[in-house]
């Protein structure tokens, strides 16, 4: 079943008024109507204040009665914006288990009864586009933001306050009590990303959607797709059909690869956008290109196409940078992908090129930067691209521990921080891990959490950091279950590094809140690593 469960609007409209159910000793609840076949469910006992990850800027638990959600609860969206309406329906989808039908959703309600959930765009824009203000009292829930994105993040917070069992597809109707609280929140960094390598092993549309769902829960807003590498080309390019007819067949280990048609890529982009996530496409060049080189002989300087490659060594392949046809190829690829991608970035890789002099490499990146800009996008490249004459709009993605990029920052470049020894989700947890690599070390959850992107590198302060991204390379990972076991819980740690104020966060508090995510992830069927560092709540 797709998740979350959206309330069909028609069903929502059929909601009949039912008496409010409450779960506190202070009120006298009338039992909620239940279908006769339904076993009685125990009233929820409000636990200690729920664990939130990432940590919001301010959380003030209230001392009044909780807010009782019932089938009669109405959600109002006081904005004509369709994306705000979408957020309300997302919330209603989470609450369907409140009764035989879930809460109704009304846009621009004329009169709002007490006991409603109200979403509005009334927050002062000075708070930031992704900020929100959530207030839960026994008399109602108010969620304010200055844009639909802020509403979406407020709903993700509310979601973490709701009972985890709601995430289970087979959850039965039950009353829900939301403890009173006032939360104000906004992200530290604009770029809160994850990267999925769909080239070493291919992951289909449903797998990517699943990953997007898990990113959304943690308020992440970028999914960078590594769409090409030596072992496979993963996106249809209509003007160069052999890229997929030939270059998509392989993957690491010799199993059958795959690719996204342009329609499927659009579907991923749209699904991500609904969750306020931008897809960042990467076509790695001039290295990591064996799949393209083996599909088109003319991209090779000697005119000979190499065989497909299914091992995991790096650095041996390179486009023929001295041949004009290479730039025609790049222009076509960037044009077709840019036309399908609403976000402002195009990632051109640029890493681990062992076949070119620094001067030839820099000249190549300069030309690619021009091509990318001609197609209306801003260039992102792995940290090697600092060798080129980067424009201020271009972004450097830091990955090699110890690399110095202070000079690039001084010239105005912005950076995405993905230090391999902290943020690489494909690194093993410890020597007992059997999946993953360890060239950058072994990364337990505490290592993934305990660093500050703004003090990691000399000369690269808060103002130069666009944000944080956690790459997941898939040389050793063939299924989404394996991907999940490497990503979780570390992705939640990186989400907090990217979202929460540095001064407010610390490992001892985080590990408790992280442990509190266990029941929710379990209800969602997330295959997470039970790190011994974390006190997992059963
Ligand atoms: C380095 S990170 C790479 C990838 C590998 C990864 C494995 C980067 C820009 N290049 O090609 O998949 O290490 O951890």
Whether residue 6 is predicted with pLDDT greater than 80 in this model: the reply is no
Tell which atom from ligand 1 comes closest to the C-alpha of 426. Answer: 14
pLDDT in tens, 370-412: 999 999 999 999 999 999 999 999 999 999 999 999 999 999 9
pLDDT in tens, 477-490: 999 999 999 999 99
User: Which of 197, 352, 365, 400 for a ligand 1 pocket mutation test, highest count of atoms within 8 Å of Cβ?
Assistant: 352
**pLDDT computed for residue 170 by the predictor:** 80
**pLDDT computed for residue 37 by the predictor:** 43
User: Which of 225, 312, 314, 402 for a ligand 1 pocket mutation test, highest count of atoms within 8 Å of Cβ?
Assistant: 314
Residues of the chain with CATH 3.30.379.10: 58-185
Share of the chain above pLDDT 70, in %: 91
**pLDDT computed for residue 174 by the predictor:** 80
Closest CA to 453 of 404, 416, 495, 503: 416
How much is the average pLDDT of 265-275?
98
C-beta separation of 173 from 99 below 8 A: yes
Tell which atom from ligand 1 comes closest to the C-alpha of 399. Answer: 2
C-beta separation of 198 from 225 below 8 A: yes
Write down the residue that tokens 């997992």 correspond to.
536
Beta bridge partners of 278: 222
Share of the chain above pLDDT 90, in %: 85
Residue 205's Cβ-side half-sphere holds a number of Cα atoms within 13 Å equal to 14
How many angstroms is it from 363 CA to the middle of ligand 1? 23
Tell which atom from ligand 1 comes closest to the C-alpha of 439. Answer: 14
How many angstroms is it from 19 CA to the middle of ligand 1? 57
Whether residue 22 is predicted with pLDDT greater than 70 in this model: the reply is no
Banded model confidence at residue 519, pLDDT cuts 50, 70, 90 = very high
- Of residues 223 and 49, more confidently modeled: 223
Residue minimizing CA distance to atom 2 of ligand 1 = 399
How much is the average pLDDT of 76-82?
96
**CA-CA distance, 374 to 395, in Å (whole number)?**
16
Task: Look at residue 285 and give its three-state secondary structure.
Answer: strand
Longest dimension (CA), the chain: 83
Residues in the chain: 538
- Of residues 427 and 175, more confidently modeled: 427
How many angstroms is it from 225 CA to the middle of ligand 1? 13
**CA-CA distance, 4 to 240, in Å (whole number)?**
37
Banded model confidence at residue 2, pLDDT cuts 50, 70, 90 = very low
**pLDDT computed for residue 218 by the predictor:** 98
Catalytic residue flag (residue 282): no
Average pLDDT over the chain reads 91
| Segments in 276-405 forming alpha helices (H) | 290-295, 324-340, 358-374
Residues of the chain with CATH 3.20.20.80: 3-35+191-524
Whether residue 15 is predicted with pLDDT greater than 90 in this model: the reply is no
Of 91-105, 138-152, 179-193, 278-292, the least confident: 91-105
Kindly name the residue from 267, 352, 373, 482 that is annotated as catalytic.
Answer: 352
CATH of domain 58-185: 3.30.379.10
Residue minimizing CA distance to atom 9 of ligand 1 = 351
The angle subtended at Cα 433 by Cα 430 and Cα 438, nearest 5°, is: 65
- Of residues 434 and 49, more confidently modeled: 434
pLDDT in tens, 414-465: 999 999 999 999 999 999 999 999 999 999 999 999 999 999 999 999 999 9
Architecture of domain 3-35+191-524: Alpha-Beta Barrel (3.20)
How much is the average pLDDT of 506-511?
96
Write down the residue that tokens 């690399």 correspond to.
403
Q: Where are the beta strands (DSSP E) in 209-277?
A: 222-226, 228-229, 232-233
Whether residue 8 is predicted with pLDDT greater than 50 in this model: the reply is no
**pLDDT computed for residue 20 by the predictor:** 25
**pLDDT computed for residue 508 by the predictor:** 96
Task: Look at residue 212 and give its three-state secondary structure.
Answer: helix
User: Which of 424, 473, 487 for a ligand 1 pocket mutation test, highest count of atoms within 8 Å of Cβ?
Assistant: 473
Instruction: Verify whether ligand 1 is closer than 6 Å to residue 352 (CB atom).
Output: yes
Instruction: Verify whether ligand 1 is closer than 6 Å to residue 314 (CB atom).
Output: yes
C-beta separation of 14 from 168 below 8 A: no
**pLDDT computed for residue 400 by the predictor:** 97
How many angstroms is it from 230 CA to the middle of ligand 1? 12
Whether residue 98 is predicted with pLDDT greater than 80 in this model: the reply is no
- Of residues 32 and 158, more confidently modeled: 158
Residue minimizing CA distance to atom 7 of ligand 1 = 473
Banded model confidence at residue 99, pLDDT cuts 50, 70, 90 = confident
How many angstroms is it from 116 CA to the middle of ligand 1? 49
**pLDDT computed for residue 48 by the predictor:** 57
Banded model confidence at residue 96, pLDDT cuts 50, 70, 90 = confident
Of 162-171, 174-183, 306-315, the least confident: 162-171
Residue minimizing CA distance to atom 11 of ligand 1 = 314
Residue minimizing CA distance to atom 4 of ligand 1 = 473
Whether residue 103 is predicted with pLDDT greater than 60 in this model: the reply is yes
Other C-beta atoms lying within 10 Å of the C-beta of residue 165: 18
**pLDDT computed for residue 30 by the predictor:** 40
pTM: 0.91
Tell which atom from ligand 1 comes closest to the C-alpha of 418. Answer: 2
SS3 content of the chain, % helix, strand, coil (to 5): 35, 15, 50
Banded model confidence at residue 244, pLDDT cuts 50, 70, 90 = very high
């Amino acid at each position: 079943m797709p998740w979350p469960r959206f309330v069909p609007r028609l069903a929502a409209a059929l909601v009949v008024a039912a008496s409010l159910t409450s779960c506190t000793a202070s009120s006298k609840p009338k039992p909620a109507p239940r279908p006769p076949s339904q076993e009685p469910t125990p009233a929820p006992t409000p636990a200690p204040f729920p664990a939130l990850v990432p940590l919001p800027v301010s959380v003030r638990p209230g001392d009044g009665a909780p807010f009782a959600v019932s089938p009669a609860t109405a959600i109002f969206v006081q904005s004509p914006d369709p994306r705000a309406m979408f957020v309300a329906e997302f919330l209603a989808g989470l609450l369907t288990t409140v009764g035989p039908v879930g809460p109704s959703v009304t846009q621009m309600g004329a009169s709002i009864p007490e006991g409603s959930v109200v979403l509005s765009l009334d927050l002062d824009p000075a708070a930031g586009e992704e900020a929100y203000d959530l207030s839960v009292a026994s008399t109602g829930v108010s969620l304010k933001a200055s844009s639909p994105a802020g509403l979406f993040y407020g709903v993700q917070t509310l979601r973490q306050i709701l009972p985890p069992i709601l995430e289970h597809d087979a959850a039965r109707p039950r009353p829900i009590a939301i403890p009173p609280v006032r939360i104000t929140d906004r992200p530290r960094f604009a770029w809160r990303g994850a990267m999925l390598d769909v080239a070493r092993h291919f992951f289909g549309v449903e797998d990517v959607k699943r990953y997007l769902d898990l990113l959304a829960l943690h308020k992440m807003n970028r999914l960078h797709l590594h769409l090409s590498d030596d072992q496979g080309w993963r996106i249809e390019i209509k003007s160069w059909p052999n890229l997929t007819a030939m270059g998509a067949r392989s993957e690491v280990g010799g199993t059958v690869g795959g690719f996204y048609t342009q329609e499927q890529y659009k579907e991923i982009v749209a699904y991500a956008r609904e969750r306020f996530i931008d897809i960042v496409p990467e076509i790695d060049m001039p290295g990591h290109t064996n799949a393209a080189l083996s599909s088109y002989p003319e991209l090779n300087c000697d005119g000979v196409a190499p065989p497909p490659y299914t091992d995991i060594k790096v650095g041996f392949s390179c486009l023929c940078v001295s041949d004009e046809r290479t730039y025609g190829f790049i222009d076509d690829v960037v044009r077709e992908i840019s036309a399908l991608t609403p976000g402002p970035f195009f990632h051109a890789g640029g890493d681990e090129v062992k076949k070119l002099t620094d001067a030839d490499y820099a000249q190549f990146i300069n030309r690619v930067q021009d091509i990318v800009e001609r197609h209306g996008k801003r260039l992102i490249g792995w940290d090697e691209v600092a060798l080129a004459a980067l424009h201020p709009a271009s972004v450097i993605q830091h990955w090699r521990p110890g690399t110095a990029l202070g000079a690039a920052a001084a010239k105005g470049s912005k950076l995405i921080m993905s230090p391999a020894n902290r943020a690489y989700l494909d690194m093993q947890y410890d020597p007992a891990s059997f999946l993953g690599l360890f060239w950058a070390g072994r990364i337990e959850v505490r290592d993934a959490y305990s660093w500050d992107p703004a003090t990691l590198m000399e000369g690269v302060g808060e103002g130069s950091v666009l944000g944080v991204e956690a790459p997941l390379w898939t040389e050793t990972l063939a299924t989404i279950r394996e991907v999940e076991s490497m990503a979780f819980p570390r992705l939640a740690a990186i989400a907090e590094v990217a979202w929460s104020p540095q001064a407010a966060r610390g490992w001892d508090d985080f590990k408790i809140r992280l442990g509190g995510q266990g029941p929710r992830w379990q209800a969602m069927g997330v295959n997470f690593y039970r790190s011994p560092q974390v006190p997992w709540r059963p």
